[in-house]
Homo-oligomer: A and B are copies of this chain.
Amino acid sequence: MDKRTLEVIAEGDGAYLPVDPDDFRDAVGRKTRKLVSKVMTAEEAIARFVADGDYVVWDCNYLQRGPSALIREIMRQRKTKLWAGGKFTWVAVALLVEAGCCDRADMGFFMGGPGMNRAILEGRFTVYEYSNVVLTVRLRAGAMGVTFLPVRSLGGTDNFRYSGAKLIEDPYTGQPTVIVPALNPDVAIIHVHQADVHGNARIFGAGITDVESALASKKVILSAEEIIETEDIRHNPGLTKIPYYAVDAVVHQPFGSYPGECPGCYASDTEHVAEVFTAMHSDGLGEYLQKWVYDFSSEEEMLGKRVGLARLRDLQRRATVREGFRP
């Protein structure tokens, strides 16, 4: 091709987190490379590494091997004005909105209910429209250190109109091509099966975008079902999904995905799942949060008093499928 310009055919008008890969590199440059222990409580990790106004992304979700305990701690600490990366997340965004923590979200998939609907119509909560895969592609761009990526979807939808996507003349084929802006969240919260104290982390089973979320985010908080020795990491480096230098905090949080499932460790609490869905659809999330979050100063207290050891044991017993979810 000898033409010297490319046409920008169309652009979405949705706000998006500003794209500045060199600024992100500066933030990464300030993180330690030392193999020091980053183990701390959920309370300390959220207090230190989640600031009001941050863009927060989590991997998986409140019901499925997500950092449910860390999400509850964010609400317990009454963080405000968070921008949520709402890819494939059933109820978490609705909870954060109900708790007053979140005033906007990039949409992939989440459920709302009357509470979120009021927040939208009253202008307390704004949604920018993408899809699950397009949001994971945006995180992938952030994890590659580039400013954007082309995608073969999103074009022609109203998501495109209310997003940060652009339709440009392809530099190589001349055909219309959709591109989406890189996403470098302020903080990623990720639940993993195993991590060492430095943050080298293992995740078993299918997933959404754990690795990309970790590499794309300025701050990374891991909650881990199990803390393992760095010796174990070194004996099978192929199992390490997230490298320690990307990690700022390691929270030892057994049942950190409760009420969701952590595959190979425990099943989901189906009664609790039904309760949160019912609460969401019947405008009862306030009571839900009081019962499951605000009434307790910590996850340990909630699990011990509200769920109870017998119930936790039962959830572990119900995790009958183990193969592939252990080293």
Q: A177 within 8 Å of B by Cβ?
A: yes
Q: Which of A8, A144, A146 has the most CB of B within 10 A?
A: A146
Q: Which of A234-242, A295-303, A312-320 contacts B (4 or more CB under 8 A)?
A: A234-242
A64: min CB distance to chain B, Å = 16
Q: Which single member of B11, B21, B147, B204 contacts A1 (CB below 8 Å)?
A: B11
Interface residues of A in 14-55 (CB under 8 A from B): 19-21
Q: A149 within 8 Å of B by Cβ?
A: yes
Inter-chain contacts of A237 with B (CB < 8 A) = 324
Interface residues of A in 44-88 (CB under 8 A from B): none
Asked whether, in the complex, the Cβ of B204 is within 8 Å of the Cβ of A238, the reply is yes
Q: A157 within 8 Å of B by Cβ?
A: no
A256: min CB distance to chain B, Å = 20
A234: min CB distance to chain B, Å = 9
Asked whether, in the complex, the Cβ of B21 is within 8 Å of the Cβ of A168, the reply is no
Interface residues of A in 146-184 (CB under 8 A from B): 146-152, 166, 168, 170-173, 175, 177, 179, 181-182
Q: Which single member of B8, B172, B205, B238 contacts A3 (CB below 8 Å)?
A: B8
Q: A305 within 8 Å of B by Cβ?
A: no
Q: Which single member of B8, B20, B204 contacts A5 (CB below 8 Å)?
A: B8
Q: Which of A19, A171, A182, A235 has the most CB of B within 10 A?
A: A171
Inter-chain contacts of A172 with B (CB < 8 A) = 19, 147-148, 181-182
Q: Which residue of B lies closest to A325 (CB)?
A: B238
Q: Which residue of B lies closest to A10 (CB)?
A: B4
Measured in the bound complex, the distance between the Cα atoms of B150 and A148 in whole Å is 7
Inter-chain contacts of A7 with B (CB < 8 A) = 4-5
Asked whether, in the complex, the Cβ of A19 is within 8 Å of the Cβ of B238, the reply is no
Q: A145 within 8 Å of B by Cβ?
A: yes
Given A5-B6, A20-B173, A172-B181: A236 and B323 within 8 A (CB)? yes
A168: min CB distance to chain B, Å = 6
- Write 10 A-B pairs (CB below 8 A) sorted by A numbering: A1-B11, A3-B8, A5-B8, A19-B172, A19-B173, A144-B149, A168-B171, A172-B182, A235-B324, A236-B324
